Amino acid sequence: MFDRRSFLSSATLATIGTVFAPRMAFAKAATTKRFVFIIQRGAADGLGTVGPVGDAAFAHQRGALAEDFATGTKLDAMFALHPSMTHTAQLYGQGQALFAHAIASPYRDRSHFDGQNVLETGGAGAYQVRDGWLNRLLGVVPTQDARAIAVAATVPMALRGSHEVASYAPSALPAASDDLLQRVSMLYQGDSQLHGLWSEAMATRQLTSDLGQNGGQNAAATGTLAAKLLSPADGARIAMIETGGWDTHAAQRQRLGAQLKGLDAMIAALQVGMGPLWDDTMVLVATEFGRTVAVNGTGGTDHGTGTSAMLIGGAVRGGRVVADWPGLKGSQLYENRDLKPTTPLDAFIGGAVAGHFATDPQRTMAALFPTGGGTAAIGGLVRA
C-alpha cells in the first residue's frame, strides 16, 4: 500500500527527477588525492582577474577597468588580485593559491567553440583529438577505486572518452516550467524528507548559470555539492565544474566583479565542505582564451589570447605568481591587441596533475596532450 510519501518518492521524483537527478556510472582510480577542474566558459579576462599593476601601461590601457585593483590584494610587486576574490586572497596569503599569467592553450584564433574544444581535448588545434584530457587522466593515475564526476548539465568534452564517469545529466524530456517547479516546491515545503531532496535537485538545475546570480549563492551551493561528491571515502576523486557568464563584451566592470565574487564563493564552499581533505585537494581554474587589452566602446573587452589561470588548494605550493611577463605596451602585444602568451597552459596543467598524483611528468604530458610536440611539464607547483 502506498501512502503520500512513498508515492511521491517512487513516482513523482522518478518522473521529474529524470530531468535533474544524477545518472551515475563511475570510472575508477586508486588515489586519496582530489582534483577539481573549474572551466570558465566565455573567455575570462585574465587582466581583470589578476591585474599587472606594476606595468606602467596597465592603467593607461585599461582605464576604468584598472581602478578596482586599488583595493585589491597585492600579490607581489607586479600583480594584484581583484578585490571580489577575498577568500582566494586569504588562501594566497596561506600559500594555498597560485596564479599563472600570460598563459594560453595552443589555440590562437578567437572562436569560443574551437577554443573550448582545444582546452578540453588537449589537442594542438580544434577537433584534432576525440576525447578529453581529464578522461585520459583516469588512465594515467592508478586505476582501482576512485570515481570521476561532472558537475554539469551534460558530460563536458574534457571528461568524455573511454572511461565512464558520473554526471548530472538531464533527460530528453521537455524542461519543466518555472511555474510548475514553484508549485512542486510549495507542495514539498512541509515535508522534511522531500523538501531536502527537492532543494538539492533545484540547486543542481542551476549549476551552470552565471556565477553572479543571487549574490553568488548558486555558486556556493555548487561548491558545497561538489565537496559532498568528493569527500566520502568511496566518493569521486576527480571532478569538473562548468561555469558560464565570462564573455564580458559590455559593462565588464560590474559583470566581472560579480562573476569573480561567485567564483570566490564556490572555492570557499568547496574548501569548507572538504574539511581536512582540503590538504589533499587541488583546484584548477582555466578558460579557453583571454580578452583584448584595450577596452571597447561599451565598457567591455573582446575576444583575445593570453589570460590567467589558477591553482588552489592545500596541495598547492602557492603564495606566488608564475609569469614571464611580456608587457602591455602596444609593441609588446600579440597581433597588436592581445596579451602575448608566454607560458603554455598545457605545461601548466600537466605539471600540476603530475605533481599532484605523483605520476611521471613526461608520460603524463604525452597522455594528456598527445599532439603537443613534447612540451615539458612545469614543475614545482605542488607542495613537497
SS3 84: coil
The least confident of 30-44, 47-61, 154-168, 310-324 is: 154-168
**To the nearest whole percent, how much of the chain has pLDDT over 70?**
83
Question: Is residue 9 scored above 50 in pLDDT?
Answer: no
| pLDDT score recorded for residue 374 | 85
- Name beta bridge partners: 299: 250
Average pLDDT for residues 319-334, to the nearest whole number?
A: 98
pLDDT band at 187 (very low <50, low <70, confident <90, very high): confident
| pLDDT score recorded for residue 195 | 74
pLDDT band at 200 (very low <50, low <70, confident <90, very high): low
| pLDDT score recorded for residue 171 | 40
pLDDT band at 38 (very low <50, low <70, confident <90, very high): very high
Class (C level, CATH) for 36-168+210-368: alpha beta
| pLDDT score recorded for residue 152 | 80
| pLDDT score recorded for residue 213 | 73
| pLDDT score recorded for residue 175 | 53
Question: Is residue 119 scored above 80 in pLDDT?
Answer: yes
Contact call for residues 321 and 98 (beta carbons, < 8 A): yes
pLDDT band at 352 (very low <50, low <70, confident <90, very high): very high
Question: Is residue 12 scored above 80 in pLDDT?
Answer: no
What count of residues does the chain have? 384
- As a whole number, the mean pLDDT across the chain is 86
| pLDDT score recorded for residue 384 | 82
Question: Whole-angstrom Cα distance, residue 332 to residue 289?
Answer: 18
Average pLDDT for residues 354-366, to the nearest whole number?
A: 95
pLDDT band at 208 (very low <50, low <70, confident <90, very high): very low
Question: Whole-angstrom Cα distance, residue 343 to residue 127?
Answer: 22
Higher pLDDT, 130 or 19: 130
Question: Whole-angstrom Cα distance, residue 161 to residue 164?
Answer: 7
Place of cell 583595493: 71
| pLDDT score recorded for residue 217 | 83
Question: Whole-angstrom Cα distance, residue 350 to residue 336?
Answer: 30
- CATH 3.40.720 domain locations along the chain: 36-168+210-368
pLDDT band at 201 (very low <50, low <70, confident <90, very high): low
User: In the chain, what are the helix, strand and coil shares in percent, each to the nearest 5?
Assistant: 40, 15, 40
| pLDDT score recorded for residue 143 | 63
Question: Is residue 3 scored above 50 in pLDDT?
Answer: no
Average pLDDT for residues 287-292, to the nearest whole number?
A: 98
| pLDDT score recorded for residue 17 | 35
Average pLDDT for residues 345-373, to the nearest whole number?
A: 95
The 10s digit of each residue's pLDDT in 225-270 is: 999 999 998 888 999 999 999 999 999 999 999 999 999 999 999 9
pLDDT band at 145 (very low <50, low <70, confident <90, very high): low
pLDDT band at 290 (very low <50, low <70, confident <90, very high): very high
The 10s digit of each residue's pLDDT in 68-94 is: 999 999 999 999 999 999 999 999 999
Q: Which amino acid is residue 3, in one-letter code?
A: D
Nine cell digits for residue 305: 589570447
Question: Whole-angstrom Cα distance, residue 108 to residue 213?
Answer: 31
